[in-house]
Chains A and B, each alone.
Chain A
Amino acid sequence: MSATEHILIVIGVLFVLLNIAAGLIWVERRLLALWQDRLGPNRAGPLGIFIVLADTLKLFFKEDWIPPFADKWVFILAPAIVVGSVLLSFIVIPFAPGIVVADLNIGIIFFLAMSSFGVYSIVLGGWASNNKYALLGALRGASQMIAYEVFMGLSLMGVVMLSGSFNLADIVAAQKNLWFVVTQPVGFVIFFIAGIAETHRLPFDIPEAESELIAGYHAEYSGMKFGMFFIGEYLGITLISAMIVTLFFGGWLGPAFLPPLAWFVIKLFFFIGLFILLRASLPRPRYDQLIGYGWKIILPIVLANLLITGAVALLIRG
């Protein structure tokens, strides 16, 4: 791959990702509305798609206020971390054969590292806001992320065992015959749940919980700094969906009448839609329920899954 091509890929991936994230504003609002028997934003532009522009403009023109009681530099740094860490994770995602920023042989490890990095933005944002609700949100965020990171990592190990590689392109290739969702259904479900928790999306949006913590760790944020958290969340959804597609649903693989990239995108949007459907339908659990659920139910299941997968893999390979 030449340097130009590489740069083109980097720029292309960045451009597409940011557009998807922004576009999700509209997608989410429209879908939520439709599931609630409403129409949603349908005024600005065709089907209301320009609500994205309007929202972005609004965020840019809002007063970018740093509270006098906040820790100024950390306060500014926190929203940058969330976007940065999620974007970095995308480096290892193989969108189609050859379309990958860096084909690392430790792709999954890199992804896990980056997603753990994201917790810093919540902790630092909540801390720097110097606000009791923000701090509570940050504490919840930290414990939730630590808990669910464990299962996320463990749930992927089955896939790694079956494919024998940490490289994501290799994992996709290993699903040529059978998607791992079939061989690793438990792994998929747990990864999906952990993914929701990692992106602190509804129903696991406990760090922000507007009805109890009035937006939690980003309560003090406004303007484009809030916008960064906002975009970070949509990027997170996209990332987790992309990972699910790559690890369990065969990535770009699909019948030949569509190009590989199209298959990837179709699968990706299916899971994004699923995320939004979750938001529309499920209520938020209590904080202690979430943590208890994680440690007491998921952890044993995921360990058992790992054990069985390992045993079966050993058996098959002899």
Chain B
Amino acid sequence: MISHLRTMWLVFIHLFRKKATIEYPEEKVELHPRYRGRIVLTKDPDGGERCVGCYLCAVACPVDCIALQATEDENGRRYPDFFRINFSRCIFCGYCEEACPTYAIQLIPDFEMAEYNRQNLVFEKEDLLIDSQGKYPGYNFYRVAGLEAGVKKKGEGEHEEKPVDVHSLLP
């Protein structure tokens, strides 16, 4: 009984404590770099699209709000023909970023994307693509991926030997 009364008293004096509420939008929130907000597609250090259209973000997405179609250019480099995120479904869980093997899809500290019309929350590739490397500067998937897609020749990538000479029997 006494402890109940004490509890009530302790709760009551919280009336005079400083409040934790941040009065957005007058006050702005300080967001951390790894905050999971708006989703963007980044570019590699050479300015090419990082997304290779592997569909891993789409399959990782628990609400299935990512749809894309992979296609390739004349060099065999894969890129998304279209890339669509339905933000009216997105739950900002960041699984797409975790799944992305090329650091292309990233969640950035921006959440101010409310709309009066739901249709405006459907973002296409043009809306998603930013001219930046985002959180992972310096990474270019095609330099480490082995295959040739106009970025480097066979055997010129990182950790690659020169292509095998099929006619040689030397060890």
Contact = CB atoms under 8 A, between A and B. Distances in A.
* A–B interface present (Cβ within 8 A): yes
Interface of A: 34-39, 277-278, 280-282
Interface residues of B, number: 14
Nearest to A279: B11
A218 B45 CA distance: 59
Contacts of B20: 37-38
26 contacts: A34-B14, A34-B15, A34-B19, A35-B11, A35-B12, A35-B14, A35-B15, A36-B14, A37-B14, A37-B17, A37-B18, A37-B19, A37-B20, A38-B19, A38-B21, A39-B21, A39-B23, A277-B11, A280-B11, A281-B4, A281-B7, A281-B8, A281-B11, A281-B12, A282-B7, A282-B8
Contacts of A36: 14
Given A37-B17, A39-B19, A282 B12 contact: no
A282 B4 contact: yes
Interface string B1-28: 0001001101110110111110100000
Given A37-B19, A39-B23, A277 B14 contact: no
Contacts of A37: 14, 17-20
Contacts of A282: 4, 7-8
Contacts of A277: 8, 11-12
B155 to A, nearest CB: 62
Nearest to A43: B23
Contacts of B18: 37
Q: Is the interface of B mostly helix, strand, loop or mixed?
A: helix
Nearest to B22: A39
Interface string B111-150: 0000000000000000000000000000000000000000
Interface of B: 4, 7-8, 10-12, 14-15, 17-21, 23
Contacts of B12: 35, 277, 281
A282 B8 CA distance: 7
A282 B9 CA distance: 11
Nearest to B11: A281
A36 B18 CA distance: 10
B22 to A, nearest CB: 10
Contacts of B11: 35, 277, 280-281
Given A37-B19, A282-B7, 5 more contacts: A38-B20, A39-B19, A278-B8, A281-B10, A281-B12
Contacts of A34: 14-15, 19
Contacts of A38: 19-21
10 closest A-B pairs by beta carbon, nearest first, are A281-B11, A39-B21, A281-B8, A281-B7, A35-B14, A37-B20, A280-B11, A35-B11, A38-B21, A34-B15
Contacts of B14: 34-37
A198 B11 CA distance: 24
A37 B8 CA distance: 15
Contacts of B4: 281-282
B34 to A, nearest CB: 26
B16 to A, nearest CB: 9
A280 B11 CA distance: 7
B163 to A, nearest CB: 64
Contacts of B10: 281
Nearest to B7: A281
Contacts of A281: 4, 7-8, 10-12
A36 B10 CA distance: 11
Nearest to B18: A37
A35 B12 CA distance: 6
A38 B18 CA distance: 9
A281 B15 CA distance: 12
Contacts of A35: 11-12, 14-15
A273 to B, nearest CB: 9
B169 to A, nearest CB: 75
A277 B11 CA distance: 8
